[in-house]
Amino acid sequence: MHRSLTQFGHTSALALVAVAGIALSATATIAQPHALAAAIALSQAAETPPKDWNLPKRSTLALQGYDPVSYVADGNATLGAESITATHRGVTYRFTTQAHRDAFVAKPQAYEPAYGGWCAWAMKDGEKVDIDPKAFIVKDGRTYLFYDGFWGNTRAKWLKEDHAAQAKAADAKWKAISGEDPPAPESAPVATTTSEKLQPSLDAVAAKFTSQMTPQQQDTYENSMKAIADTGVTKRALQAGAKAPDFDLPAADGKRIKLSEALANGPVVVMWYRGGWCPFCNLQLRAMEARLNDLEASGGSLIAISPQLPDSTVSTKDTNELTFPVLSDVGNTAAKAYGLTYELPPVQRAMLGKLLEKTNGDTSTVLPIAATYVIDRNGIIAQAFTDSDYRKRPEPDDVIKAVQALKR
């Protein structure tokens, strides 16, 4: 029998939300650092934080407690744990995991928020405006935060204009206010490299989440995953040998992409993902970006599709620094043509409903499975990777080999 989210209680609900593929807000425990690290942390804590930074009164906590590494490494805004902290320049940060904390301590400048954590849009005018920590962009190795409230979504406004010009203007104003120079452009470390396999990274994320659940909670969640499989979605999904339905969808840059036109240049890999809020999807997107040169050298091109609104699609593309087209299939029109959609089971519906309403722009609780298709230039599906379990994705190597096989 399915149970509502409230029946699991606060801690249980957080654990289930995590495994559902949303950024986790939960507490964790870590061992005490060794004496040297403790001494360093104590000396850092004694520093006076920069006076112009966006910090609460009588507190040094940055980002309202959100993990600065999660923005960069996971592409998500995630509340950190009170028990996992680090202090840099007198500013305190919280982290979801010890690994995130270690990454920050090793290279804090890669994760510090731009403009002291104030709204980047307002900083162009030299104004210090508070932010919604869930409204952000990661670009050129920097995390930009934005106000999103009664007066509008400044992140959406920023995305409609030239990023470099706006950042330059905001940098100048912040320099005048704080005396701080902008950091040299650089990229922070990401989870997946060209030499790594994707599935172990996905398994590690799933394991981290399930480790915070009781056996009963794990059973409940696995039953919800089975409920997705029982919808028969993988049987409905188009398979190899089928004609790929054409689509005409808007990309993150506003241009429309038509499959039939893309196929004129060679085979196309079409990859459906659930949304930029899903860490499993972000790992796959980055893994494919890391192998994009190899894919293109094999004669193929790549397109990613989700049911997100265009603004959410822009966020996914910018946060993951993707250079291939990322399209918005609002209403899942194209996904339905490929037989990829399913209705969320009750447990996941309770967890994801409000989030999907915001990112997808409707009250539907329908999502596509994370499917990847290799389509030959004649429009025939040569290879279909379809699985109802979103924790499983094809390896980039296997996708590339399927494209290479079309040359033979």
381 DSSP assignment: E
User: 24-72 pLDDT, tens per residue?
Assistant: 433 233 333 344 444 434 444 456 889 999 999 889 999 999 999 988 8
| Measured distance CA(286)–CA(296) in Å, rounded | 16
Pairing state between β 366-368 and 248-250: unpaired
- Give the pLDDT of residue 140: 84
DSSP-assigned letter for residue 110: G
163, 164, 167, 168: CA torsion to nearest 10: -150
DSSP 8-state secondary structure symbol assigned to residue 113: B
pLDDT tens per residue, range 366-375 = 999 999 999 9
Is pLDDT above 60 for 4?
Answer: no
Element (H, E) at 203: helix 198-210
184 CB-contact burial (10 Å; exposed 0-12 / middle 13-18 / buried 19+): exposed
- Percent of the chain exceeding pLDDT 90 equals 55
* 49 CB-near residues (< 8 Å, 6+ apart): 55, 60, 89, 90, 91
pLDDT per residue over 173-202, tens digit each? Answer: 999 999 998 876 654 444 433 446 899 888
CATH of 198-405, one of 3.50.50.60, 3.30.499.10, 3.40.30.10, 3.30.360.10: 3.40.30.10
Q: Is this prediction's pTM over 0.75?
A: no
User: Residue range 250-276: average pLDDT?
Assistant: 94
Whole-angstrom Cα distance, residue 175 to residue 178?
5
**Angle, CA 103 vertex, CA 97 and CA 105 arms, to 5°:** 105
Residue 391 has pLDDT above 60, yes or no: yes
Question: Cα 343 from chain centroid?
Answer: 22
CB 334 within 8 A of CB 249: yes
CA distance 271 to 289: 12
Sorted by where each begins, the domain ranges of the chain are 31-178, 198-405
The owner of tokens 């520093």 is: 47
Are 54 and 84 in contact by the 8 Å Cβ rule? The answer is no
C-alpha 194/C-alpha 206 separation (Å) is: 21
The token duo for 13 is 């609900």
Residue 325 has pLDDT above 50, yes or no: yes
Q: How far is CA 162 from CA 121, 150, 253, 316, 319, in A?
A: 12, 24, 12, 17, 16
Yes or no: say if 259 and 267 are a contact pair by the CB < 8 Å rule. Answer: no
Between CA 259 and CA 239 the distance in angstroms is: 17
DSSP string, 154-165: HHHHHHTS-HHH
Average pLDDT on 113-139 reads 94
